[in-house]
Chains A and B, each alone.
Chain A
Amino acid sequence: MLSKNSENVMVEVKNLNVKFDQNHIVRNVSFNVNKGEIIGMFGISGAGKTTIIRVLTCQIEQKYWNGIVNVTGLSPNKKRNHGIILSNIGYVPQLEELNLYFELSPLANVDIFTSTYGMDKQKAKEVAKNLFTILDIPEDTWDKHVKQMSGGEKKRLSMAIGLIHNPNVLFLDEPTTGVDASKRYEILSYLKKLNQKLQTTMFIITHDLEAALICDKAAILREGKMLSFDSPKKLIGSLPSNGMIARITIDNLNQQVINTIQQFSPIQEILRVGNEVMEIMMDDFEVNLPKLIQFIVNEGFKVTAMSRDVATFRRFFQIRIKEEEQKEKDQNSLIVENEGGDNEKT
């Protein structure tokens, strides 16, 4: 059951603040999730991602948070809404053991979860089989114990359980954490597939920045504050040189070399991304790139490889976090200076 104004906006969050005693966990966070979108919320541990998802999934009592929150048009601040919200949403926890009974078969797991939504058994079985097929869960495992399935199969089964009642929004908590690199891309591509085939709105919280590849919008959180929220493409485009980077490999790269190259004035940002590799962003990228190479050669450094590319979301994340840290440092030093000045006066 969806309210009228929620037909397009699945999740609405305005000025959300979450406080546990003196700990201000989430500060003035606002964002919307529209129907059919995949939203990724990124941040390191302690950023407040899990707290936000807990507010949205009715797990945190209203006394701990304030602001406007609507999930499928209903606010979790009223207990009477919880039942409807929970039947409108799906949830895929980080650990499969929280979502699956390992001693039962996938179909028996489906039975348990669908009974909580009051679904017809036969219909639930059909939906499950369709989801299992989309997610490539082998048919010969459907009646076996979940514990006999591979890690990837368990993960996909967990997603299927989250989607079994055709929710309006699917919340996913760290879907790629603890999965090896090759499987990470596989899981992300399955999520995109589900999104495209079933038009499911997805809300992902993760610290795996690769997940941005499938997101329509990405939010970056740091210490409870939302630093950015837009499509990954736009966010990357907001970087200096419109997100273009020069990836340069230099023999015997060290900090002294970086400091020297930094003297080339159009440079905005240098990031060392490997032993001998750095990524450079600068003003007027196309014009200044040849000049930069010339500058490096003139300084006597040996360039062994060079390529130009568009920055990844990972770079955007690093730069945005670095900026925020720098801003915080500057503010702190200003406070210390002011306090020092006050002390001298007294």
Chain B
Amino acid sequence: MLWTDKFNIFIALVVPPLVVALLGVMGSISSKAPIIPINCVVVSYDSNAFIEENNFTESRIDNYHGPYLAAVNKSELLNLVHFYNITTDLYGMELARELLIAKEIEIIIAIPVDFSELLTWDYPGLIDCIIDSSDPQKIQENINAVFDSIKIFVRDNNLTPQFELSGFEEFSIPENYNAKFNNSIVMTLSFMVIGVGMVLTILVIVHEKPIARLLLTPIKRNEILLAKYITYTLILLIQNISLVATALSFGLYIVGSVFDLFLALFVLGFAGLSLGIFISSSSKTKTEANQLFFAIFLVLVLLSGIFVPINAMPIYLQVIAYILPLSHGDPLINGIITKGKSVFGFDFYVLLLVSIILVVISFILFKRRKYEV
């Protein structure tokens, strides 16, 4: 009896320990993983000219931004992506901000104009930093990294350990918005949209018995599956409209455009429903589809990069993670809501590509599916 449903037995016996093993691997990765330095850009406004107050004569002083850059490079917690000297790169700060929006860096360290002057005259040093606050959990981590560079700078240059760090949060939620609601909605939107898309469609093929009978009418298999896609895409559209409307009415703060968010949710939801239809057309029974959904959804969540950063995973898991839709859906939605990024970027096109591949595979599987009445 047991062997009449080998696939389900496989799923039931192999998948749970596999998930536990995956969790174990992820856990050991997060605890043993080397420190991942935080990408930063240093923008220097520092001037090494000193104007004497009494006679307005100009003299040269030691330039300290060079040694500070050396300290940034020395710090294990920071990774200097670019250095802009405003005297030569007039638009350095704008370029740095673009990198911050693109999530290529997380901190802009700004060296003020009187940086060297204050240090020369033994005044407390001053550094400004602009940190990405879209992820509240990482704010402190980012500040600590800048402090680390200051510590090295002070030590290496025998300076008075008096330093003032002014932090400016970028992409933080304005005070008149509910931060808790906004933070949690950004986290859950991507899960919810892909999960609901999958749940909605995992049984549409495997559980609909009259499909076999419909195939004894002039209708073609492709037409049946296409009708399913159209129907569920319409449901997805309605779901997305109501989702965005509800979120906005409860005070969701969107930096980007609502249309971009809607499009991002739609493409992620479509990837979810394509995955659901793929599960449904590749399963023989309802139980098999449910088991497969459970297994795939767990892998999607675990490798999404939300719990463990993808670049901290072993390379083989990174490859899998980058194929999975949630790994692109979360940063896409996050980027639009918190930083005002455009929807049309790498993540959007990957999601589109993954969805198209799943649609094509589902059509092939459905065409080959055996039906008997």
Residues of chain A having any CB pair with chain B under 8 Å = 54, 57-59, 83-84, 86-87, 89, 91, 93, 95, 97-101, 112-113, 116-118, 173
- Interface bits B332-373 vs A (CB < 8 Å: 1, else 0): 000000000000000000000000000000000000000011
- Interface bits B213-230 vs A (CB < 8 Å: 1, else 0): 110111110000000000
30 examples of A-B residue contacts, CB within 8 angstroms: A54-B372, A59-B216, A59-B373, A83-B218, A83-B220, A84-B218, A86-B218, A87-B217, A87-B218, A89-B216, A91-B213, A91-B216, A91-B373, A93-B213, A93-B373, A95-B209, A97-B209, A98-B210, A98-B212, A98-B213, A99-B213, A100-B210, A101-B210, A112-B214, A113-B214, A113-B217, A116-B214, A116-B217, A117-B217, A117-B218
Beyond A98-B209, A99-B210, A116-B214, 6 extra complex contacts between A and B, CB < 8 Å? A54-B372, A91-B213, A98-B373, A100-B210, A101-B210, A117-B217
Q: When the two chains form their complex, are residues B218 and A116 in contact, meaning their CB atoms are under 8 A apart?
A: yes
A99 to B373, CA, bound (A): 9
Q: When the two chains form their complex, are residues B217 and A173 in contact, meaning their CB atoms are under 8 A apart?
A: no
Shortest CB-to-CB span from B228 to chain A, Å, is: 13
Shortest CB-to-CB span from A274 to chain B, Å, is: 38
Collect the chain B residues with CB atoms within 8 Å of residue A116's CB: 214, 217-219
Partner of A86 from B217, B372, B373 at Cβ < 8 Å: B217
Collect the chain A residues with CB atoms within 8 Å of residue B214's CB: 112-113, 116
Shortest CB-to-CB span from B147 to chain A, Å, is: 63
Shortest CB-to-CB span from B86 to chain A, Å, is: 68
Q: When the two chains form their complex, are residues B373 and A173 in contact, meaning their CB atoms are under 8 A apart?
A: yes
Interface residue SS majority, chain B: loop
Nearest B residue (CB) for A84: B218
Shortest CB-to-CB span from A229 to chain B, Å, is: 25
Chain B interface bracket (under 10, 10 to 19, 20 to 34, 35 or more) = 10 to 19
Residues of chain B having any CB pair with chain A under 8 Å = 209-210, 212-214, 216-220, 372-373
Shortest CB-to-CB span from A316 to chain B, Å, is: 30
A99 to B219, CA, bound (A): 15
Interface residue SS majority, chain A: mixed
Collect the chain B residues with CB atoms within 8 Å of residue A95's CB: 209
A118 to B217, CA, bound (A): 11
A307 to B309, CA, bound (A): 90
Collect the chain A residues with CB atoms within 8 Å of residue B373's CB: 59, 91, 93, 98, 173
A56 to B219, CA, bound (A): 17
Collect the chain A residues with CB atoms within 8 Å of residue B213's CB: 91, 93, 98-99
A57 to B371, CA, bound (A): 13
Nearest B residue (CB) for A82: B218
The 4 closest A-B pairs by CB, nearest first: A116-B217, A116-B219, A93-B373, A87-B218
A89 to B217, CA, bound (A): 8
Collect the chain B residues with CB atoms within 8 Å of residue A58's CB: 216
Shortest CB-to-CB span from A108 to chain B, Å, is: 12
Most chain A CB within 10 A, of B209, B217, B220, B372, is at B217
Collect the chain A residues with CB atoms within 8 Å of residue B217's CB: 86-87, 113, 116-117
Collect the chain B residues with CB atoms within 8 Å of residue A87's CB: 217-218
Nearest B residue (CB) for A115: B219
Collect the chain A residues with CB atoms within 8 Å of residue B212's CB: 93, 98
Collect the chain B residues with CB atoms within 8 Å of residue A83's CB: 218, 220
Collect the chain B residues with CB atoms within 8 Å of residue A98's CB: 209-210, 212-213, 373
A91 to B213, CA, bound (A): 8
Collect the chain B residues with CB atoms within 8 Å of residue A112's CB: 210, 214
A136 to B43, CA, bound (A): 86
A54 to B220, CA, bound (A): 17
Nearest B residue (CB) for A161: B213
A59 to B216, CA, bound (A): 8
A95 to B217, CA, bound (A): 17
Q: When the two chains form their complex, are residues B372 and A59 in contact, meaning their CB atoms are under 8 A apart?
A: yes
Partner of B216 from A57, A84, A97, A118 at Cβ < 8 Å: A57
Known: A93-B373, A98-B373, A173-B373. A86 touches B210 (CB 8 A): no
A112 to B209, CA, bound (A): 14
